Amino acid sequence: MDKKISDKVINRLTLYHCILDDYITSEIEFISSKQIANLLRIDDSQVRKDINLLNNSGKCRVGYIVKELKKSIEATLGFAKTKNAFIIGAGNLGMALAKYDNFSNYGLNIIALFDNDRSKIGTTINNKVVLDIKKLPNLLRKSNIDIAILTVPKKYAQATADYLVKSEIKHIWNFTPAVLAVPDDVQVWNENLMGNFLQFSYNI
Amino acid sequence: MDKKISDKVINRLTLYHCILDDYITSEIEFISSKQIANLLRIDDSQVRKDINLLNNSGKCRVGYIVKELKKSIEATLGFAKTKNAFIIGAGNLGMALAKYDNFSNYGLNIIALFDNDRSKIGTTINNKVVLDIKKLPNLLRKSNIDIAILTVPKKYAQATADYLVKSEIKHIWNFTPAVLAVPDDVQVWNENLMGNFLQFSYNI
């Protein structure tokens, strides 16, 4: 990115991108900031401000050219630079994420899943194989994996994180409700579903 | 809440709560802001500032009393006020959320799941039954449901949202990667996984 873009802006740009995707499916050529703003219930001046951060927004007389704006968001957010990931834990959540085809559109390439359950090892989910967790350290050394997506039950979260750290994983996307203790050179991103829920439901 | 607490603070308080939960399991009585800060890689002055927003933090000479601080977070974030929810879509993600026992600790009570797949209707997941989606409007009228958790495939997301709106749901927690068009009196909370991922992976 040319300019430092804040987390909130990144989040909104991803949502604009989803909307543009739908417009392309519906074969609509142009979109206005007002249309985006209405769908997301935000101010259209906010939408214009966010889009102004992009290098080439596809602005035209009637709004924005959908395809250009979409490409520009992709370039700015670095979708093009693919990151490889393993999913650790082939339970329902791991399987849901393995099936989530949207990830690959955003540069997240899920290579395989890992589990210790013999009944799951060797099966495939969405063309991704479930491997024995014992093979992880060896495979990590051979492959170019940036991220481990942690979807094991809470009670195994810390032990599995310890194992990932020993296997030299440097980035953990943590979907478990556990707060993980890891060395300083390992990054943990907590997908804090409960925090999100409490923000959402605060006014209900 | 007595004071308006920002989304970022709510998010951090939830993480502190997870840590306190682990301390209680380990039968540790006291915790310092430094210990919390180290686990989350944030500044301990930030932790103290957040905790100062609580009514009764359990502060003592050696830090905080774990049980008191936990109770205080629960009182402040309104865990006590239970919200009832239906999960719409009994695929892997819906099943993962139905199995996520942590929700009930935070005041989210999942009553049942809904699907249109005849092979799923009538089965139970974590003691929650999968019901025919056709029964939704009738059941909503009879029960006190605040939230629909939407976990259907993207291509069915808008049509299902339309159906939820017709069934008079007012709050949708949207786990699909679709941006939903809904009337003004319906709130949508987008669980924007791709936005989160892009924030996380920005520096990788």
**Which CATH code of 3.40.50.720, 3.40.50.300, 3.30.360.10, 3.40.50.150 fits the domain covering A83-196?**
3.40.50.720
B171-198 mean pLDDT: 90
Confidence (pLDDT) at A55: 82
For residue range B124-170, list pLDDT tens digits in order.
999 999 999 999 999 988 888 889 999 999 899 999 999 999 999 99
Q: Is A80 on the interface with B (CB under 8 A)?
A: no
How far is Cα B197 from Cα A106, in angstroms, rounded to an integer?
9
Cα distance from B2 to chain A (closest Cα, Å)? Answer: 12
- Reference A130, options A178, A95, A174; nearest CA is A95
B27-53 mean pLDDT: 94
Confidence (pLDDT) at A2: 46
| pLDDT, block means (10 residues), chain A with 204 residues | 73 91 92 94 94 86 92 83 92 92 84 96 96 93 89 94 94 93 93 82 74
For the domain made up of B7-77, give the CATH fold: Arc Repressor Mutant, subunit A (1.10.10)
Q: What is the DSSP letter of A111?
A: E
Question: How large is the ipTM?
Answer: 0.83
Contact B191 A192 (CB under 8 A): no
What string of DSSP letters covers chain B?
--S---HHHHHHHHHHHHHHHHHHHTT--EE-HHHHHHHHTS-HHHHHHHHHTSS---EETTEEEHHHHHHHHHHHHTTTS-EEEEEE--SHHHHHHHH-THHHHTTEEEEEEEES-TTTTT-EETTEEEEEGGGHHHHHHHS---EEEE-S-HHHHHHHHHHHHHTT--EEEE-SSSPPP--TT-EEEE--HHHHHHHHHTT-
Residue A124, classed as helix, strand or coil, is strand
**8 Å CB contact between A98 and A115:** no
How far is Cα A79 from Cα B79, in angstroms, rounded to an integer?
38
Q: Is B83 on the interface with A (CB under 8 A)?
A: yes
How far is Cα A190 from Cα A182, in angstroms, rounded to an integer?
13
Confidence (pLDDT) at B119: 97
Question: Using a CB-CB distance cutoff of 8 angstroms, which residues of chain A are in contact with residue B12?
Answer: 195
Share of chain B above pLDDT 70, in %: 98
Confidence (pLDDT) at A1: 42
In this structure, what token pair is assigned to residue A28?
Answer: 């609509």
Q: Is B28 on the interface with A (CB under 8 A)?
A: no
Instruction: Give the CA distances from residue A36 to residues A32, A40, A45, A60, in Å, rounded to whole numbers and listed in that order.
Output: 7, 6, 11, 16
What string of DSSP letters covers B164-201?
HHHTT--EEEE-SSSPPP--TT-EEEE--HHHHHHHHH
Helix (H) or strand (E) holding A112: strand A108-115
Q: Is A11 on the interface with B (CB under 8 A)?
A: yes
Q: Is B197 on the interface with A (CB under 8 A)?
A: yes
Give the relative orientation of helices B7-25 and A193-201 as an angle to the nearest 10 degrees: 130
Closest CB to B173 among A107, A189, A200: A200
Confidence (pLDDT) at A79: 74
Question: Using a CB-CB distance cutoff of 8 angstroms, which residues of chain A are in contact with residue B196?
Answer: 11, 189, 191
A169, A173, A179, A184: CA torsion to nearest 10: 40
User: Structure pTM?
Assistant: 0.85
- Reference B90, options B201, B202, B187, B175; nearest CA is B175
Q: Which of residues 90-119 of B touch A (CB under 8 A)?
A: 91-93, 95-96, 99-100, 102-103, 106-108
Residue B3, pLDDT > 80, answer no
Domain boundaries, chain A: 7-77, 83-196
In this structure, what token pair is assigned to residue A193?
Answer: 């579903």
Residue A64, classed as helix, strand or coil, is strand
> Which of A5, A9, A13, A14 is the best residue to mutate to test the B interface, defined by the most B CB atoms within 10 Å of its own CB?
A14
Cα distance from B41 to chain A (closest Cα, Å)? Answer: 9
Q: Is A191 on the interface with B (CB under 8 A)?
A: yes
In this structure, what token pair is assigned to residue A10?
Answer: 């990144």
For residue range B75-98, list pLDDT tens digits in order.
888 776 789 999 999 999 999 999
Residue B1, pLDDT > 70, answer no
How far is Cα A129 from Cα A98, in angstroms, rounded to an integer?
10
Residue A132, classed as helix, strand or coil, is strand
Q: Which residue has the tokens 């979708």?
A: A79
Closest CB to B181 among A11, A15, A39: A39
Helix (H) or strand (E) holding A108: strand A108-115
Cα distance from A157 to chain B (closest Cα, Å)? Answer: 12
Higher pLDDT, A111 or B57: A111
Residue B2, pLDDT > 70, answer no
B-chain residue closest to A97, CA distance: B93
Q: Is B1 on the interface with A (CB under 8 A)?
A: yes
Cα distance from B134 to chain A (closest Cα, Å)? Answer: 24
